[in-house]
Amino acid sequence: MSRLIGGLERSLGTRLLERGYDGIRVTPEGRLFYSGSRELIEGLGQLVHGVKRNTEQAEGRIRVSASVAMCLLHARRWVQEFVDGNPGVEIELDANDRRVDLVDGEFDVALRFGSEMPKDQIARKLAGSPRVLVAAPALLTRSGVPAHPTDLSELPFVGWATDFEASQIRLSGPTGEALIKMLPRLHLSCGILVREAVADGAGFGQLPLWIVARFLEDGRLVRLLPHWRCPHQDLYAVYPSRKFLPQRVKLFLDFLSQRIEQAHGFEAHAWRERAKSPDA
């Protein structure tokens, strides 16, 4: 202890304690340093307690990023329900069809679609949704119903600008595999915009079932080539790291896995964590 105090005195350039044959006396500078450091130590203790409480309990803010379509159709209701059930939690939901940087944007979780996830982050597959070919009845009345994948090139096509797989139609069916490369004249950046344009008869589209399920049920859209299958669109929860994940985020991820099982147009996936090693 004396060595630590001696080092502190040398650093401060003053004596904190006076040492003599009759004992040790605290100097005025020592009393001043003790008074100030005690407040700092108490404040640090409170800070550590607060951080641990936020980590161990469902308290604090969660920043979530998701596509515009996901926010409008599902995520907005999910986060509202989660906040209602966890009064200590605040959620900020960012609707964005571009892939945000989780670290720079200070996001805790991103809901992302696709087959390739960032290699330096953690991705948990929540569900899959089959892509389907859809068109408005009025368009088929004008242009005819395609009987084979090669007939699709005779129809106008509405492209989804941020779904790069949507303009290449890969099908597997009764006679094998088919790849149809479409050249859409209309490109839209949001799946809901594509759905609305297709429902208006602007052309046919390739969309995930979770976006068009209601329109198929009420007849605003019909499926094309129902005996041919398109690739699935997979939904992942992506977050920066698995280490020291706050309790509020863990609870939110578990909540998402439960809600996705009830979501229309999704096929729930077993809750498995996939870690990617840093590569880029």
The Cα–Cα gap between 178 and 135 comes to: 19
CATH class, domain 114-246+256-280, is: alpha beta
Contact 182/134 with Cβ under 8 angstroms? no
The Cα–Cα gap between 81 and 258 comes to: 12
The Cα–Cα gap between 85 and 87 comes to: 6
pTM score? 0.72
Give me the pLDDT at residue 20, please. Answer: 63
Give me the pLDDT at residue 36, please. Answer: 74
Domain with CATH 1.10.10.10 in the chain: 2-56
Give me the pLDDT at residue 47, please. Answer: 58
Q: Say what the alpha-carbon torsion angle 228, 113, 160, 210 is, to the nearest 10 degrees.
A: 60
Which residues make Cβ contacts (< 8 Å) with residue 115, sequence separation at least 6?
A: 234
Percentage of the chain beyond pLDDT 90 is 53
Q: Which fold has domain 2-56?
A: Arc Repressor Mutant, subunit A (1.10.10)
Percentage of the chain beyond pLDDT 70 is 80
pLDDT tens-digit map of 66-104: 999 999 999 999 999 999 999 999 999 999 988 888 888
12 dihedral zone (left: phi>0; alpha: psi -120 to 50; beta): alpha
The Cα–Cα gap between 31 and 23 comes to: 17
pLDDT-based confidence at residue 280 (cuts at 50, 70, 90): very low
DSSP 8-state symbol, 11: H
pLDDT tens-digit map of 29-70: 767 766 777 667 666 655 554 555 554 457 899 999 999 999
Domain with CATH 3.40.190.290 in the chain: 114-246+256-280
For the chain, the average pLDDT equals 83
- Mean pLDDT, to the nearest integer, of 171-186? 91
Contact 219/107 with Cβ under 8 angstroms? no
Closest CA to 232 of 259, 269, 263, 260: 269
The Cα–Cα gap between 262 and 280 comes to: 36
The Cα–Cα gap between 187 and 191 comes to: 11
Give me the pLDDT at residue 243, please. Answer: 76
